[in-house]
């Protein structure tokens, strides 16, 4: 632990990332391998479950067909007749077993596996005759259904007929050599059972044909229902093997097989290194559970070949027979994909660990290298070296934040050093500014307005110099303007006196003109009032026209509503006519049916037929009349629709007329109001003209007062000139020293570049009073 703490981050971080990557990839590989094995077993269980279900259903379907065939053959009249005749012929023979085996087995001209091709013996006799008649029926039935053999037993247990003529033919199955065979058990159960039922003897070895056999049987009854014998069938076990022998999805070691209740293998195994057909299988748990009726999945149990397998077993019952249907596959084959996946995952984990270690080392370098650079920069800054560039400030992670903070610290230190230097420089500049302002203000206090500050100040104080020069220039200009204004006031006072006389004459002329204007305005006011009264009358007439137009529009709307109601009534009448037409059609059908029934009744229904014909003719005429009425109603409805549309168009036209009349009424009302306002305005103008005449009379008196005021103004102007002569301006220096060099005449242009010497024309323009 001490070694880890003392280890540098550049070494510690890559090692930690590599260890973490190894741990994660190892866990992933183990989990994936475990999941792959579980998934393989789960898939195998699902596949075997569906496979067993499919095979069991196929076997059950096949057995149901066999049941149907056995019952059909036992209940067939041909079978019963053949049995009765063959049994009667059997009873006529002195030694049936010796005779029939000699004729049909020993003297059979066909090979032992083709004895069924022999139709009958050459000797005359009832048995040979009946055998020749019915043998072809049973042989064809056997070949068409695929059975190995068909047997007929009498009530005493004698096998009186078989198709294949094996060594059991013509023997007794109650006390003979085959009394303990499976065929004998099936026969005895059938004789003890009910008609129309199937009885089975489980899979067992049958010595007569030297093979594993499965027999079924059903009773034969006579016309009274009495059991007189039994029919038996030997089922083809190879058909059972074909049903379950589909190898799809079983792999190389998969196997599906059937085991009988006596633990014998009932189907041909797919694999050849284990038990064979009819062999006794080991006491496997999946087989024993299936024979007990259980259906379940087994993992890691011993299989048919003795190897560890997974298996799915299900019980299969056929009447009183119990079978086990088992599907199994070697565990090694099931786990093979998982093992391959595990190897791939191990290789992937190793490669991933190496790649992740490399990526972790590179990733660690992205952290440790910038940290080392940042550390070096911090040492330089702590040593006072502020001219370096801090690296990695453009990164967006915590290292970038650290570098940015360090860079900001460096910048602040640089700013502090620069601020100290600038503070000393600003102190020196401030001293110069104070001295220059002191000189300028001293001259200003003495009334000298021609001494601006010409030397520029530092940038921080330049605005102070400009404002001082601008103030000096403003004072200089104001004083110059005041001097010029005094002179203008002197000249203006003389002009005002002359203008007063002219104003008095024009005022008298203006009074006379105003009297004539007032008389004309009275006449105009009367005319405008008359026009306003006429406009009001027109507005009332237009309002009456608008009311009548609105009433006409309402009348048109009522007409449209009435036409619409007529249209709806026409549609309702059309519906009623349709109902009448349907009634006529139904009446026609009823009359037609009545005519058909009358025709079936013959002469008794002729009168009813005539009535039905008349009703049918009446229904047809009603239907035709209804159609004509419906056509007329449809035409009337269309015309009503056209009328509705025309009335609607008329209503819309009246609506447009009403809108235009309303617009005209509005305009007329506005014209009347405007005329009235015009009359009022002219009256106000007339009043104003009267008031203007009174004001004109007052103006004449004011002219005399103005003359007296002009003399007072001339006196005040002289006093103002004396006051402003105390100030020295650029204009006064220009008058006294016009030939001085530019350096001395500082008042000509100040520092802000504006002219301080200008002339204000304070005198009035000669035409001003004349215009007034």
Copy the structure tokens of residue 672.
């009347």
For 64-101, how does the pLDDT look when each residue is reduced to its tens digit (9 = 90+)?
999 999 999 999 999 999 999 999 999 999 999 999 99
Given this model, what pLDDT does residue 690 score? 77
pLDDT interval class at 189 (50, 70, 90) = very high
Given this model, what pLDDT does residue 763 score? 43
Residue 214 makes CB contacts below 8 A (sequence gap 6+) with 182, 200, 201, 202, 203, 234, 235, 237, 266, 321
Give kind and range of the element (H or E) at residue 161.
strand 159-162
For 325-384, how does the pLDDT look when each residue is reduced to its tens digit (9 = 90+)?
888 877 777 776 666 666 666 677 777 777 777 777 777 666 777 777 777 777 777 777
Could you give the dihedral angle defined by the CA atoms of residues 402, 407, 413 and 419, in that order, rounded to the nearest 10 degrees?
-140
Coil, helix or strand for 265?
A: strand
Cα–Cα separations (whole angstroms), residue 525 to 188, 520, 682: 146, 9, 6
Given this model, what pLDDT does residue 65 score? 94
Coil, helix or strand for 724?
A: helix
For 123-168, how does the pLDDT look when each residue is reduced to its tens digit (9 = 90+)?
888 999 999 999 999 999 999 999 999 999 999 999 999 999 999 9
487 closest CA partner among 283, 718, 228, 327: 718
Cα–Cα separations (whole angstroms), residue 193 to 78, 196, 709: 22, 9, 161
Given this model, what pLDDT does residue 757 score? 39
**How far apart are the C-alpha atoms of 587 and 590, rounded to whole Å?**
5
CB 209 within 8 A of CB 166: yes
626 closest CA partner among 699, 689, 576: 576
**How far apart are the C-alpha atoms of 317 and 161, rounded to whole Å?**
30
Helices (H), 271-397: 285-291, 331-382
**How far apart are the C-alpha atoms of 153 and 86, rounded to whole Å?**
10
Mean pLDDT of 464-474: 85
Give kind and range of the element (H or E) at residue 200.
strand 199-206
Mean pLDDT of 704-708: 70
Q: How many residues does the chain have?
A: 772
Cα–Cα separations (whole angstroms), residue 202 to 185, 319, 486: 9, 10, 152
Question: Exposure pattern of 345-383 as b/e (b: 16+ CB <10 Å)?
Answer: beeebeebbeebbeebeeebeebbebbeebeebbeebee
Coil, helix or strand for 98?
A: helix
| Residue 440 DSSP one-character state | H
User: Which residues in 68-157 belong to E strands, given as ranges?
Assistant: 149-154
Given this model, what pLDDT does residue 338 score? 61
Lowest mean pLDDT among 109-123, 320-334, 698-712, 737-751: 737-751
For 396-435, how does the pLDDT look when each residue is reduced to its tens digit (9 = 90+)?
777 777 778 877 776 777 777 777 777 777 777 777 778 7
Given this model, what pLDDT does residue 24 score? 73
Given this model, what pLDDT does residue 748 score? 39
Kindly state the percentage of the chain with pLDDT values over 70: 84
| Residue 281 DSSP one-character state | P
Of residues 388 and 738, more confidence is placed in 388
Residue 230, number of CB atoms within 10 A of its CB: 26
Given this model, what pLDDT does residue 662 score? 76
CB 328 within 8 A of CB 51: no
Kindly state the percentage of the chain with pLDDT values over 90: 20
Coil, helix or strand for 498?
A: helix
**How far apart are the C-alpha atoms of 745 and 747, rounded to whole Å?**
6
Given this model, what pLDDT does residue 220 score? 96
CB 260 within 8 A of CB 326: no
Given this model, what pLDDT does residue 6 score? 62
Q: Which domains does the chain have, with CATH numbers?
A: 22-352 (3.30.450.20), 462-724 (1.10.287.950)
Given this model, what pLDDT does residue 2 score? 61
For 543-580, how does the pLDDT look when each residue is reduced to its tens digit (9 = 90+)?
787 788 778 777 777 877 877 887 788 778 878 888 88
pLDDT interval class at 454 (50, 70, 90) = confident
**How far apart are the C-alpha atoms of 164 and 239, rounded to whole Å?**
18
* Mean per-residue pLDDT over the chain, rounded: 79
pLDDT interval class at 740 (50, 70, 90) = very low
Give kind and range of the element (H or E) at residue 706.
helix 606-724
């Amino acid at each position: 632990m001490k070694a880890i703490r003392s280890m540098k981050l550049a070494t510690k971080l890559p090692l930690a990332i590599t260890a973490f990557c190894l741990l994660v990839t190892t866990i992933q590989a183990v989990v994936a391998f475990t999941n792959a094995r579980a998934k393989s077993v789960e898939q195998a269980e699902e596949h075997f479950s569906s496979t067993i279900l499919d095979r069991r259903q196929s076997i059950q379907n096949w057995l149901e067909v066999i049941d149907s065939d056995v019952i059909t053959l036992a209940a067939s009249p041909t079978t019963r007749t053949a049995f009765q005749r063959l049994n009667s012929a059997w009873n006529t023979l002195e030694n049936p077993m010796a005779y029939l085996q000699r004729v049909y087995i020993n003297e059979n001209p066909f090979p032992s596996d083709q004895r069924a091709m022999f139709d009958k013996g050459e000797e005359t006799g009832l048995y040979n005759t009946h055998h020749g008649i019915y043998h072809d029926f049973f042989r064809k039935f056997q070949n068409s259904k695929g059975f190995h053999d068909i047997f007929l037993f009498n009530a005493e247990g004698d096998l009186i007929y078989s198709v294949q003529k094996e060594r059991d033919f013509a023997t007794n199955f109650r006390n003979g050599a085959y009394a303990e065979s499976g065929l004998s058990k099936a026969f005895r159960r059938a004789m003890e059972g009910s008609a129309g039922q199937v009885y089975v003897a489980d899979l067992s070895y049958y010595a007569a044909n030297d093979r594993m056999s499965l027999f079924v049987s059903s009773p034969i009854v006579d016309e009274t229902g009495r059991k007189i014998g039994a029919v038996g069938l030997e089922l083809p076990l190879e058909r059972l093997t074909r049903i379950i022998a589909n190898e799809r999805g079983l792999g190389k070691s998969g196997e599906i097989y059937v085991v009988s209740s006596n633990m014998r293998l009932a189907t041909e195994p797919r694999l050849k290194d284990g038990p064979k057909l009819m062999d006794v299988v080991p006491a496997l748990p999946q087989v024993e559970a299936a024979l007990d009726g259980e259906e379940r999945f087994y993992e890691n149990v011993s299989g048919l070949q003795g190897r560890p397998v997974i298996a799915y077993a299900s019980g299969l019952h056929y009447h009183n027979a119990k079978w086990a249907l088992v599907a199994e596959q070697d565990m090694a084959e099931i786990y093979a994909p998982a093992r391959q996946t595990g190897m791939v995952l191990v290789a992937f984990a190793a490669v991933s660990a190496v790649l992740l270690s490399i990526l972790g080392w590179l990733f660690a370098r992205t952290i440790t290298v910038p940290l080392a650079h940042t550390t070096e920069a911090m040492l330089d800054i702590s040593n006072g070296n502020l001219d370096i560039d801090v690296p990695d400030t453009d990164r967006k992670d915590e290292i970038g934040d650290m570098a940015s903070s360090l860079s900001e610290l460096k910048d602040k230190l640089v700013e502090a050093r620069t601020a100290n230097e600038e503070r000393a420089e600003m102190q020196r500049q401030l001293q110069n500014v104070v001295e220059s302002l002191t000189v300028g203000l001293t001259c200003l206090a003495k009334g000298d307005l021609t001494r601006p500050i010409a030397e520029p100040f530092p940038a921080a104080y330049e605005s102070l110099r400009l404002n001082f020069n601008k103030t000096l220039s403003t004072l200089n200009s104001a004083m110059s303007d005041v001097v010029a204004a005094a002179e203008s006031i002197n000249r203006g006072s003389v002009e005002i006196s002359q203008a007063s006389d002219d104003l008095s004459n024009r005022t008298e002329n203006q009074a006379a003109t105003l009297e004539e204007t007032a008389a004309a305005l009275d006449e105009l006011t009367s005319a405008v009032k008359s026009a306003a009264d006429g406009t009001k009358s027109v507005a009332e007439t237009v309002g009456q026209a608008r009311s009548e137009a609105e009433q006409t529009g309402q009348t048109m709307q009522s007409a449209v509503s009435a036409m619409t109601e007529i249209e709806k009534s026409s549609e309702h009448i059309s519906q009623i006519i349709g109902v009448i037409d349907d009634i006529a059609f139904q009446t026609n059908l009823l009359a037609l049916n009545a005519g058909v029934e009358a025709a079936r009744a013959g002469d008794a229904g002729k009168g009813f037929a005539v009535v039905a014909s008349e009703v049918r003719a009446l229904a047809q005429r009603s239907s035709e009349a209804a159609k004509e009425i419906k056509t007329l109603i449809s035409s009337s409805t269309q015309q009503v629709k056209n009328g509705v549309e025309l009335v609607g168009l008329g209503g819309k036209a009246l609506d447009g007329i009403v809108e235009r009349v309303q617009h005209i009424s509005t305009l007329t009302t506005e014209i009347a109001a405007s005329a009235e306002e015009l009359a009022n305005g002219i009256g106000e103008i007339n009043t104003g003209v009267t008031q203007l005449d009174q004001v004109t009379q007052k103006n004449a008196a004011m002219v005399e007062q103005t003359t007296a005021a002009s003399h007072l103004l001339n006196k005040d102007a002289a006093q103002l000139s004396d006051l402003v002569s105390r100030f020295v301006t650029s204009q006064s220096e220009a008058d006294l020293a016009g030939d001085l060099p530019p350096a001395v005449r500082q008042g000509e242009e100040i520092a802000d570049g504006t002219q301080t010497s200008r002339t204000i024309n304070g005198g009035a323009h000669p035409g001003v009073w004349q215009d007034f």
